[in-house]
Amino acid sequence: MKPNASNSGSLAVVGLQWGDEGKGKIVDLLAPDFNAIVRYNGGANAGHSVVVGDERFALHLIPSGVFRPACTSVIGNGVVVDPAQLLTELDGLAERGVDCSGVVVSDRAHVVMPYHKVEDAARERALVERLGIKAVGTTGRGIGPAYAEKVQRSSAIRMGDLLFPDIVRRRVRAAMAFKGPMLERWAPEALAELEEDSLVELALGWGRRLAERIADTSILLHRILDGGGRLLFEGANATLLDVDHGTYPFVTSSNSSALGIGPGSGVPPQRVGRVVGVAKAYQTRVGAGPMPTELTCVIGDRIRERGREYGTTTGRPRRIGWLDLVALRYAVRLNGVTEIAVTLLDVLSGFESIRLCTAYTLDGRAMEEFVPDAAALDRVKPQYEEIPGFSEEITAARSYQALPATARAFIERIERGVGVPVTMIGVGPDRDQTIHRTGEIGGA
């Protein structure tokens, strides 16, 4: 193949809503066809659950492909890595007999230090308690402060730096020089824990344990591609949380759409072929921010209980809403989605009717387009289409034809609404509770 020719054998899996769409299961299902699974954004704010046999695994940093031993699991340069969390996951998987020898981390990925987590919590608390401003509702994993430090440049630590005591000490000293006064004001109780020598020792200890996994992953990925291999890019968080294209400021701090793949992995966009967008059959959101179709009634409670809609990372109850086709169309366009996986369809069984939001009105005007600005999105009114629900339990369905006609009508309404086919449908948490369809709109 010519240098840089499109490698359409590679693929991205991205969340099309506000996260928790069930991407982990889709990645795990697709993984056997790929040589490497690549995380390119976010950090331990993400929570991926994968059910293998009778066991449920919750991962935050390690790519969901780790259960497929032939795959290399790559944590790319765009990820912010909490090494303590990474080691906990590696140890936990090893204890349960999962082979983690293929997990590698970019030397250019930035390190989440303890002071980033302290700052994350302190800022959120200060916003609410001292300044009377709505908090972002972060996961408290230090994501925003770690990305901010990366962009500041003078005091950040990258994974490759963990192998060099002088660099670590200089960076910790610089970071604490800047943060000390700020934390003294906003989190004085935490400051005693952030002592230079112990921070340096902690970081160097991580470096010693992770040294063999730290590598130039961009070169590794290009070599796989040049050898005819295929990459699967696993988006963390989701499109509507993208720092540039999501519902700012109620977003995460990275490009969590497929647009983040280039900068977050070192692989250029033309080498990503298919983009599988993952969307729940309804909408959920954790943390603050607008959500036009939110249901604050018993319907929402019922979906929350049936769907076990509690955060994998924080345990917070998720906010629930009807499926928002306006937001979905936006996410499909932004990511270049070629096909959709609809997850958790089984959760909607038992409702007499189901609603889909097909348009908005904003200040009395009809709107077909999504409004990523949080303040404006807060004011839109959803316009619904109501379609008949299905009473049957569908968790045992294994083919599209085995679904009730009303469930199929719901899927086909989604396809017409966004213009791309739904090729996978989740009817339960297990690997095999997934229906595969042809890649055509209205296909079998």
Does 137 contact ligand IMP by CB under 6 A? yes
Q: Which residue has its beta carbon closest to ligand IMP?
A: 287
Are 83 and 49 in contact by the 8 Å Cβ rule? The answer is no
Residues 93-132 that bind ligand IMP (CB under 6 A): none
Q: Which of 20, 28, 242, 346 is catalytic?
A: 20
Map the chain to HEC letters. Answer: CCCCCCCCCCEEEEECCCCCCCHHHHHHHHHHHCCEEEECCCCCCCCEEEEECCEEEEECCCCHHHHCCCCEEEECCCCEECHHHHHHHHHHHHHCCCCCCCEEEECCCEECCHHHHHHHHHHHHHHHHCCCCCCCCCCCCCHHHHHHHHHHCCCCCEHHHHHCHHHHHHHHHHHHHHHHHHHHHHCHHHHCCCCHHHHHHHHHHHHHHHHHHEECHHHHHHHHHHCCCCEEEECCCCHHHCCCCCCCCCCCCCCCCHHHHHHHHCCCHHHCCEEEEEEECCEEECCCCCCCCECCCHHHHHHHHHCCCECCCCCCECEEECEEHHHHHHHHHHHCCCEEEEECHHHHCCCCEEEEEEEEEECCEEECCCCCCHHHHHHCEEEEEEEECCCCCCCCCCCHHHCCHHHHHHHHHHHHHHCCCEEEEECCCCCCCEEECCCCCCCC
Does 335 contact ligand IMP by CB under 6 A? no
CB of 401 to ligand IMP, least distance (A): 33
Does 317 contact ligand IMP by CB under 6 A? no
Does 139 contact ligand IMP by CB under 6 A? yes
CB of 406 to ligand IMP, least distance (A): 29
Q: Which stretch binds ligand IMP (CB under 6 A): 16-24, 122-130, 271-279, 353-361?
A: 16-24
Does 138 contact ligand IMP by CB under 6 A? yes
What whole-number distance in Å separates Cα of residue 146 and Cα of residue 116?
6
Name which of 112 and 224 has its Cβ closer to ligand IMP: 112
One of 19, 292, 307, 426 touching ligand IMP (CB under 6 A): 19
One of 10, 12, 13, 20 touching ligand IMP (CB under 6 A): 20
* CB-neighbour burial class of residue 207 (10 A; exposed 0-12, middle 13-18, buried 19+): buried
One of 136, 225, 326, 332 touching ligand IMP (CB under 6 A): 136
110 catalytic per annotation: no
Does 46 contact ligand IMP by CB under 6 A? yes
Q: Which of 28, 33, 48, 301 is catalytic?
A: 48
Residues 141-180 that bind ligand IMP (CB under 6 A): 141, 143-144
CB of 277 to ligand IMP, least distance (A): 15
Q: Which stretch binds ligand IMP (CB under 6 A): 95-103, 125-133, 134-142, 266-274?
A: 134-142
Does 427 contact ligand IMP by CB under 6 A? no
Name which of 20 and 415 has its Cβ closer to ligand IMP: 20
Residues 185-244 that bind ligand IMP (CB under 6 A): 236-237, 241
Residues 248-307 that bind ligand IMP (CB under 6 A): 250, 252-253, 286-287
Q: Which stretch binds ligand IMP (CB under 6 A): 68-76, 153-161, 247-255, 380-388?
A: 247-255
CB of 278 to ligand IMP, least distance (A): 12
48 catalytic per annotation: yes
Active-site amino acid positions: 20, 48
Q: Rule CB under 6 A: which residues touch ligand IMP?
A: 18-20, 45-47, 136-139, 141, 143-144, 236-237, 241, 250, 252-253, 286-287
